[in-house]
Structure formats: C-alpha cells, structure tokens
C-alpha cells in the first residue's frame, strides 16, 4: 500500500514537472519564432507565434509582442484586444511595449487625446530608466500634440528594443544597466 502511494506521488510529481517543461518550451519556442518572424516583417505569422507562447506561460510579454505584430499588420482591433489582455496581467518589462503600442493604436484610430495620454505614461516610465536621447523627440511630439505616427513608431521600437535587450542582458549576466 505504501509503495503504491509513493509511486502515485512520484507519477503526479513527474507529470506536473513534465507539464511545466512543456509549457515553458511552448513559451520559449513561440517567443523565439515570433521575434524572428517579426524582424522579417511577417507580422501575422509572428502574432500567431506570440499567441501560442502566451498559452505556454501566462505572461504579458507574448501578448505585448502579439499586439505589436497586430499593429504592424494593420489589425488595430486585434492589437487593442491583445494590449488590454496584457494590461490585465502583472506588470513586467513589457510595460514599455504595452504603453508605446497602446499610444500608437489610439493615434491610428484617431483618438488623439487618449493617444497622448498613453504616450505621456510611456514617457513618464521611460524617463525613470536610462532613456536614449531620442526620448526628446517623443517628448516634443507629446508636448506639441504634433504626432508623426511613422516616426513615433520607429522611435518607440528603437527605445523599447534597447530597453528589452538591456533587461535580458542584465537577467543573464548581471550587467547591462548603466554600462
């Protein structure tokens, strides 16, 4: 009897660990493939990979990337839904991507005041980090209300990518911020 119970516990433990490994693998492979597709301009395929990754581990990052890919694929409704879902999860390093793309979606939908509000939230948070000098251009757009959507997208992408790369570097090496 005791042997059966121990065997049962071991089977349950092994199953749980295998499930975690499988979820983690789904997340990692979806994020890797999604980022590669996003860089190649295959936005719909990238979005699909990020959505798969979100099923692996419930995290804001794949949803934020999926929203960015949807925006770039001109699917504003899809981008907005994914951003709302990402915002409902605990905040993490994806906050910049979420706020940046939230502002882009709102501007693209003609909601200038809401877009400026989201852009100001992005700026306020980004200013607390190690902002690139290009934040001055973003601040000028927010202050004047004169938003060049294509230029803003390019600036935000560069700032967000640099920040995420620094976070990743810090997580893997312990160095990166302020270097």
Q: What is the mean pLDDT of residues 58-82?
A: 97
Confidence of residue 56 (pLDDT cuts 50, 70, 90): confident
Confidence of residue 73 (pLDDT cuts 50, 70, 90): very high
Q: What is the DSSP string of the chain?
A: -HHHHHHHHHHHHHHHHHHHHHHHHHHHHHHHHHHHHHHTT-HHHHHHHHHHHHHHS--HHHHHHHHHHHHHTT-HHHHHHHHHHHHTSPP-TTHHHHHHHHHHHHHHTT-HHHHHHHHHHHHHHHHTS---TTHHHHHHHHHH----HHHHHHHHHHHHHHHHHHHHHHHHHS--TT-
Sorted by where each begins, the domain ranges of the chain are 21-92, 93-173
Q: Answer whether residue 11 shows pLDDT above 50.
A: no
Confidence of residue 160 (pLDDT cuts 50, 70, 90): very high
Render pLDDT for 75-128 as a digit per residue (tens, 0 to 9).
999 999 999 999 999 878 899 999 999 999 999 999 999 999 999 999 999 988
In CATH, the number for domain 21-92 is: 1.25.40
């Amino acid at each position: 009897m005791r042997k059966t119970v121990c065997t049962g516990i071991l089977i349950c433990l092994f199953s749980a660990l295998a499930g975690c490994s499988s979820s983690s693998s789904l997340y990692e492979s979806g994020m890797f493939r999604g980022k590669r597709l996003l860089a190649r301009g295959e936005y719909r395929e990238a979005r699909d990979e990020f959505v798969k990754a979100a099923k692996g581990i419930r995290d804001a990052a794949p949803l934020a990337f999926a929203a960015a890919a949807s925006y770039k694929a001109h699917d504003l409704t899809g981008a907005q839904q994914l951003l709302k879902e990402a915002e409902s999860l605990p905040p993490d390093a994806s906050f910049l991507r979420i706020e940046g793309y939230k502002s882009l979606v709102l501007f693209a939908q003609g909601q200038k005041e809401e877009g400026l509000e989201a852009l100001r939230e992005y700026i306020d948070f980004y200013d607390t980090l190690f902002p690139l000098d290009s934040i001055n251009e973003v601040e000028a757009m927010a202050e004047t209300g004169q938003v060049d959507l294509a230029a803003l997208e390019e600036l935000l992408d560069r700032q967000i990518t640099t920040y995420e790369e620094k976070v990743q570097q810090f997580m893997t090496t312990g160095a990166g911020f302020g270097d």
